[in-house]
Amino acid sequence: MLLGILKETAPGETRVALLPESLKSLVAQGIAVSVEPGAGLAAGASDQAYAEAGATIAADRASLLATADILPVVNAPDAADQARLKPGSVVIGFLKPLDAPHALDTAIARPATLFSMELVPRISRAQSMDALSSMATVAGYKAVIAAADRIPRLFPMLMTAAGTIPPARVFVIGAGVAGLQAIATARRLGAVVEAYDVRAAAGEQVRSLGAKFLDVDLGGISTEGGGGYAAELTEEALDRGRDLITRTAAHSDVIVTTAQVPGRPAPRLIRQAAVEAMRPGSVVVDLAAPAGGNCELTKPGVEQKIGGVTLLAPLNLPAEVPVHASQLYARNILNFLALILKKGELTVDLADEVLAGACVAHNGKPVNPRVAKLLEPANAPANLLTDAQRR
Ligand code: NAD
């Protein structure tokens, strides 16, 4: 059984799927590990460190693709790489099966067994494999750090002999995993934090972090879409949120916005007027940029100046924290691998709800019903973003 660790090729990607420290339990099971030269360099892991952990360094990428039985990855391999996969091999990673299902056609036809980390069911048993949450945590932290680095002010309140500096005011929109980490980070830096989410349940979590939860009367409509996620709202309900956001923006130095509805473009919540109402030097970080963005001015992947306000729309913040993002991701991957590797043998049991939920395709056939539907020729989604925007 050969497990391959590839060097990620997506522009700007610095993470690696497994680190040297991840290999102990795999090697102990008798699994051979082979690493593409330089795979972990950007995440601080040298070829030598992998070798010391028991891996061999592959001659080249093509031979690794052709011989590996299991390939944990961060991003989906491109079509040329997919065409080289060993038939029957298993690929696990952020494969974007709901955004771009047909980008996986070649791998499905090899056939390779594909597992998508985005599709791991968010149930208690699978929490340790929840890579979306791991990466959202990193992104929420880094969004606040990026904003603190940009604003021409200090975050904490300072009382000095030269006078008192008031704390920065941070407004977080969407108090899910990324939003809560943004709140916690901004609080640690001493900011005064307000937050808004359509899910009333988020209020308690926001307050427990020492931030103020802003309530909007949405007329009693249901805002929970199942599984703890938000539902898609009507334009009228969205407008009430937009009004609150415009009012709050006027006294905020930083907005970190994270609102998303699974499988839908991100809700447009921040009007141009809200950005224009902010003080010069203020910063908006739109973490929903990969799904189109929460701000109507957002251009995914592009940094803009709107008057005196900086609008950031990063597409891959976890790649700016490659060591810890890789460490968390590798742990999620290892926990997932434990479901398909028993004493060094590969066993794909699709009766397991976690495996069935995460499985894009097995033996040449789609497995997850949402993906299967999208792969029917008539149902290919209009991609949320172009490839250029995705980068
Ligand atoms: P997400 O990335 O889909 O959305 C981020 C936040 O945006 C959510 O809190 C959502 O309510 C909010 N939002 C959506 N539309 C909005 C709007 N119009 N206005 C304001 N806010 C809006 O969500 P997420 O961060 O991945 O997770 C959301 C929920 O799932 C949370 O309750 C979280 O605790 C839960 N969760 C559960 C598990 C698990 O059980 N294993 C794992 C992760 C997250």
Q: How far, in Å, is the centroid of ligand 1 from the Cα of 123?
A: 14
Whether 197 lines ligand 1, by a CB cut-off of 6 Å, is yes
Q: How far, in Å, is the centroid of ligand 1 from the Cα of 206?
A: 13
306 membership: H or E segment, kind and range: strand 304-306
Whether 199 lines ligand 1, by a CB cut-off of 6 Å, is yes
- Tokens standing for residue 192: 């005064």
Residue 2 in 3-state DSSP?
A: strand
- Tokens standing for residue 103: 């980008």
pLDDT at 391: 38
Q: How many CA atoms lie within 13 A of 93 on its CB side?
A: 22
pLDDT in tens, the chain (391 residues): 999 999 999 999 999 999 999 999 999 999 999 999 999 999 999 999 999 999 999 999 999 999 999 999 999 999 999 999 999 999 999 999 998 999 999 999 999 999 999 999 999 999 999 999 999 999 999 999 999 999 999 999 999 999 999 999 999 999 999 999 999 999 999 999 999 999 988 999 999 999 999 988 877 777 777 777 888 888 888 999 999 999 999 999 999 999 998 878 999 999 999 999 999 999 999 999 999 999 999 999 999 999 999 999 999 999 999 999 999 999 999 999 999 999 999 999 999 999 999 999 999 999 999 999 999 876 655 544 444 444 3
Q: How many CA atoms lie within 13 A of 170 on its CB side?
A: 37
Q: Residue 388, Cβ neighbours under 10 Å: how many?
A: 8
Biggest CA-to-CA distance, the chain: 71
- Calpha distance 255→278 (Å, rounded): 10
pLDDT at 45: 98
pLDDT at 203: 96
Q: What is the pTM of this model?
A: 0.94
- Residue nearest to ligand 1 atom 2, measured at CA: 260
pLDDT at 381: 54
Active site residue 122: yes
Residue 41 in 3-state DSSP?
A: helix
Whether 260 lines ligand 1, by a CB cut-off of 6 Å, is yes
Whether 229 lines ligand 1, by a CB cut-off of 6 Å, is yes
Residue to probe by mutation, ligand 1, list 208, 258, 295, most atoms within 8 Å of CB: 258
Peptide bond into 366 cis (omega under 30): no
Q: How far, in Å, is the centroid of ligand 1 from the Cα of 94?
A: 19
**What values do phi and psi take at 226, rounded to 5?**
100, 145
Q: How far, in Å, is the centroid of ligand 1 from the Cα of 106?
A: 33
- Calpha distance 211→187 (Å, rounded): 8
- Calpha distance 294→260 (Å, rounded): 8
- Calpha distance 55→39 (Å, rounded): 12
Catalytic residue among 34, 133, 260, 389: 133
Amino acid at 389: Q
- Residue nearest to ligand 1 atom 24, measured at CA: 176
Active site residue 229: yes
Active site residue 105: no
- Calpha distance 288→176 (Å, rounded): 12
Sign of CA dihedral 148, 10, 373, 368: negative
Crossing angle of helices 177-188 and 131-150, in 10° steps, is 40
The answer to whether the CB of 182 falls within 8 A of the CB of 256 is: yes
- Calpha distance 257→249 (Å, rounded): 11
